[in-house]
Each structure stands twice: as C-alpha cells, then as structure tokens.
C-alpha cells in the first residue's frame, strides 16, 4: 500500500480537556493522549498539527510536542489568537499592547530558532457566528494587529514562512478584505480551515495565489458542503479531523456516502480503527479499571479522534470519484509543500 503512513491531521486539539478524561467538568478517565497517539500512528497518520487559539494554548501545545516527540517526531503546532479568544487581548476598548508584545516575542523567537514544531500562524481570522465571545470590532482589531506583526516579522525572510491557518465563519469576504490591507512574503501560503461557507466564496478564495481549503466532517454536514468538497481541486485540498470535535453524525448527508464507501473498500482498507470498541459513557470507568492505558483498541462515545482521519479521505475519494490512494497521495504532497516547517 503506497499510501501507508501518508496522512497528516492539520487540525487537532490535543489540549482539549476530553483528552485529559474530563467531560462536562467531570473526570471520567485518566489522560490518554499517549494512547490517542498510538492509535493515530497505527491508522496511517504520521504528521499532526495542533491548533492553538491563545497564548496559553501555545504553551500547552509546545509541552505536548516536547513530551511526545519520541513517539511522534512529526508533530507541531499553530501560534495565534482565535477570533473567539480576541477579548483576552483587549484592555477595555483598546488592544492590550503588553499581550501583543508577548505574542510578537514568541513568534520572533520561534522564527529565529527555526523551531521545527512551529508550523503555522493561527488559528486566527473572523467568526460572526459566535459574537457572544467577541464582537466584530474586537475580532477585527485583534486579527489586524496579528497580521501587522506577522508582515513585519516575515516579509524579508529568506525562506517560506509558516502557513496562515485561517478561521473564516459567516463573515462573507471580510476576512479576505482584511488580508488585502497587508503585504506578506511572496511565498506566504494560506489555508482556510474547516470550510463551511458557499461555493461562490470558495471559488473566490481559490482564485487567489497560494490559498487552500481544508475540510472536516463539520464541513460536510450539508449538501452544499458536499458539493464544495466535490468542486475543490485536489491541488488545493486539505483534510482534517478537528478532533475531539466534528465527528460524523447519522443525520449528516455524508453518513450514507461513507457507509457505502466503507462497504466497497472493506477488503482493501482493513484499518485497525474499525475493530475498536466504542465505549459508552457509563462503561468508561470500568474499561480503564480493567485495562488501564495499555489496551488501545477503544473509542470514547462521541469523542472524535485523529485515528479516524482516513474516513474523511475515503469520503472525499467517494465524492470526487477518484481512488483512495490518489487522494492520499495528492493531499500528502500538498502538506509537504505548504506546511514546510517540520
């Protein structure tokens, strides 16, 4: 199988409390990050990018990379402020410049040292669906300040800068208009993560130099989302889990397509994940009491995991009427050329 170990999860939230065993504020099982990594490795995922939404997230993700680098050397992180974390960077109605100095120094140090785990700027952008976390004005101020700093730090680099990992939710073309205000490195790349907007806007994005689109199961929970993936050129495509979120649901239009694809490939894609026991919440404590962290063949309820990334690739191959191997090879090539700091 030429696609062996050629999957990269570019959107993974290992610092989420669910991987510490905490659900709705209650501790149900021990931290199982090591087990989660074992599972993704035995299901062909060999590279991961951990998503940071705040300065604290960066520190937490950096620690995970350090703690597990011997188990998975090709693991890295993003560094930036998510639009829903924008309020943390404010002092009343103004930007808290002391916090932006901290962020700038982090970026500066990572770039200077050529830290191999620093893969992307972000996750940052605009989110008009969740204005309860930060109003539009705050999101725009924080996003623009980050762009201003990045432009200054990277414009004269003698190599390709880390990619932009962009969050774009229900903001029409405001994000693109904001990006256009700044000048970036000629080789700057841009990935719009977890795409859920219209086909028309996707086409506008992809007409831009060095822009790419990433899909996960949340991108594919509508018929329009399925058509978006179908229309996205392979050389512009990325796929991700956004775990522990964005698992596929029976109510999604993608579900029957995946079931059909699984049946068609059951003899050619015998992934170990298919044999894992799915633990219901009430049975989780007993499982860990009996097995500890040594037995890895389990999934926990609705918690999505990176070991399930291959299913998104399989679904994409079904939608695009190409082979699984073809889509794995092409997306792997995209990862290698766009996410270069590893």
Main-chain dihedrals φ then ψ at residue 95, nearest 5 degrees: -65, 140
The DSSP result for 161-227, as a single string, is: PPEEEEEEES-TTHHHHHHTTS---TT--EEEES--S-HHHHHHHHTSTTEEEEE-GGGGSSHHHHH
Strand-pair partners of 45? 7
pLDDT, residue 142, reads 99
Taking only the tens place, the pLDDT of each residue in 200-241 is 999 999 999 999 999 999 999 999 999 999 999 999 999 999
Of the chain, the percentage scoring pLDDT greater than 90 comes to: 89
Per the CB < 8 A criterion, the answer to whether 190 and 209 are in contact is no
Please report the domains of the chain, with CATH numbers, ordered by start residue: 7-338 (3.20.20.140)
Answer positive or negative: Cα dihedral of 221, 207, 79, 90.
Answer: negative
Mean pLDDT over each residue of the chain, to the nearest integer: 95
| pLDDT greater than 70 at residue 3 | no
Is the previous residue joined to 123 through a cis bond, with omega within 30 degrees of 0?
A: yes
| pLDDT greater than 80 at residue 189 | yes
Taking only the tens place, the pLDDT of each residue in 297-341 is 999 999 999 999 999 999 999 999 999 999 999 999 999 999 986
Question: Helices 324-338 and 309-320: crossing angle, nearest 10°?
Answer: 110
pLDDT, residue 342, reads 46
Judged on CB neighbours under 10 Å (0-12, 13-18, 19+), 194 is buried
For the chain, report the end-to-end CA distance as a whole number of angstroms: 24
CA 307 to chain centre: 14
pLDDT, residue 2, reads 59
Closest CA relative to residue 39, chosen from 311, 314, 306: 306
Taking only the tens place, the pLDDT of each residue in 12-47 is 999 999 999 999 999 999 999 999 999 999 999 999
Taking only the tens place, the pLDDT of each residue in 43-71 is 999 999 999 999 999 999 999 999 999 99
Is the previous residue joined to 267 through a cis bond, with omega within 30 degrees of 0?
A: no
Taking only the tens place, the pLDDT of each residue in 150-162 is 999 999 999 999 9
Taking only the tens place, the pLDDT of each residue in 281-302 is 888 998 999 988 878 899 999 9
| pLDDT greater than 60 at residue 190 | yes
pLDDT, residue 4, reads 80
Main-chain dihedrals φ then ψ at residue 329, nearest 5 degrees: -60, -45
Per the CB < 8 A criterion, the answer to whether 122 and 166 are in contact is yes
């Amino acid at each position: 199988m030429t696609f062996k170990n050629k999957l990269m999860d570019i959107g993974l939230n290992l610092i989420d409390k669910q991987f510490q065993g905490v659900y709705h504020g209650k501790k149900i099982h021990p931290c199982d990050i090591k087990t989660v990594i074992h599972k993704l490795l035995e299901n062909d995922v060999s590279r991961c990018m951990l998503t940071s939404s705040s300065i604290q997230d960066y520190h937490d993700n950096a620690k995970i990379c350090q703690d597990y680098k011997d188990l998975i050397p090709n693991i890295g992180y993003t560094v930036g402020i998510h639009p829903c974390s924008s309020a943390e960077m404010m002092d009343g109605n103004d930007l808290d410049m002391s916090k932006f100095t901290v962020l700038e120094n982090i970026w500066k140090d990572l770039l200077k040292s050529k830290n191999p785990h620093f893969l992307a700027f972000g996750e940052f952008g605009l989110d008009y669906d969740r204005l309860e976390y930060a109003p539009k004005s705050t999101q725009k101020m924080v996003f623009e300040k980050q762009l201003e700093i990045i432009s200054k730090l990277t414009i004269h680099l003698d190599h390709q800068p880390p990619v932009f990992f962009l969050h774009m939710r229900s903001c029409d073309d405001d994000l693109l208009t904001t990006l256009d205000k700044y000048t970036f490195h000629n080789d700057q790349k841009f990935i719009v993560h977890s795409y859920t907007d219209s086909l028309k806007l996707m086409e506008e994005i992809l007409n831009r130099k060095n822009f790419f689109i990433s899909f996960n199961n949340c991108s594919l929970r509508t018929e329009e989302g399925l058509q978006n993936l179908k229309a996205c050129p392979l050389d512009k495509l990325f796929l991700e889990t956004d775990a522990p979120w964005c698992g596929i649901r029976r109510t999604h239009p993608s579900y029957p397509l995946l079931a059909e694809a699984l049946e068609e490939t059951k003899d050619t894609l015998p992934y170990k994940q298919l044999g894992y026991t799915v633990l219901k919440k009430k049975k989780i404590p007993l499982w860990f009491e009996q097995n500890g962290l040594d037995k890895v063949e389990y999934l926990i309820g609705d918690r999505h995991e990176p070991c399930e990334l291959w299913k998104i690739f399989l679904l994409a191959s079904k939608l695009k009427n190409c082979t699984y191997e073809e889509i794995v090879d092409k997306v792997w090539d995209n990862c290698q050329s766009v996410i270069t700091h590893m």
